[in-house]
Chains A and B, each alone.
Chain A
Amino acid sequence: EVLLVESGGGLVQPGGSLRLSCAASGFTFSNYWMHWVRQVPGKGPVWVSRINSDGSSITFADSVKGRFTISRDNAKDTLYLDLNNLRAEDTAVYYCARGVVGTLSYFDYWGQGTLVTVSS
């Protein structure tokens, strides 16, 4: 069974930092592109970042470029998202999701999400 489990969310002050993790199991993690998608409760999902299977290709949405970093450890089957210089508008549930077909991909499995709240 494919399982994605996020952790690391919490309450942080504006300008602060967090590291989110996504532990994967039930599939060969190193074969898949992985993504982070966030969602403000009551709103539609918004794609944040992606990383290819070996970590050599990384892309971010303009809204987080320069502030967020994505990485992966294929030996540990884990995806990461480092959130820096956080703003109130970064408050959301953050999901990791598995991409199916390279760059032009829908997302076939999602984690349960971890809530990030940016507030003073």
Chain B
Amino acid sequence: DIVMTQSPDSLAVSLGERATINCKSSQSVLYSSNNRNYLAWYQQKAGQPPKLLIYWASTRESGVPDRFSGSGSGTDFTLTISSLQAEDVAVYYCQQYYSTPLYSFGQGTKLEIK
């Protein structure tokens, strides 16, 4: 089973500043046949379900602001919020969908305003 580990567990960033969240998988989620990383990022606000932000490690879901970006390949991935807004306060999760049926998620990173 692939284990997803996020860092840090929590993060406080000033409004307008950059926020960076890391995700490491215990084995590569890069499919060599199509050169795609099977990695997604979700945002979960209090009392709400997770919301898809990024898939294929770097493709932004329709309607997601362009201040959100994803990068990385293989086992190491990053979600970056270029200029933090108040509405970005949430818990963020990475998820691998390379090794199924266990679609494993990270433990989450709580993002707050400093």
Contacts and interface: CB of A to CB of B under 8 A. Distances in A.
A3 B105 CA distance: 23
Q: Is the contact region of chain B dominated by helix, strand, or loop, or is it mixed? A: loop
Contacts of B61: 108
B49 A50 contact: no
Given A45-B93, A106-B55, A106-B95, A111 B49 contact: yes
B72 interface: no
Interface string A87-109: 00000000100001001111111
B100 A103 contact: yes
Given A103-B100, A106-B40, A46 B105 contact: yes
B48 to A, nearest CB: 8
A46 B48 CA distance: 16
Contacts of B97: 104-106
B101 A110 contact: no
B52 A106 contact: yes
Nearest to A49: B101
A47 interface: yes
Contact of A113 (B40, B49, B95): B49
Interface residue range, chain A = 20 to 34
A52 to B, nearest CB: 11
Contacts of B52: 106-109
A108 B38 CA distance: 14
Interface string A71-99: 00000000000000000000000010000
B68 interface: no
Counting chain A CB atoms within 10 Å of each CB, the highest count among B40, B61, B103 belongs to B103
Interface string B43-70: 0000011111001000001000000000
A104 B38 contact: yes
Given A106-B52, A110-B51, A45 B105 contact: yes
Given A44-B105, A46-B105, A110 B49 contact: yes
5 contacts: A37-B103, A47-B104, A50-B101, A106-B55, A109-B52
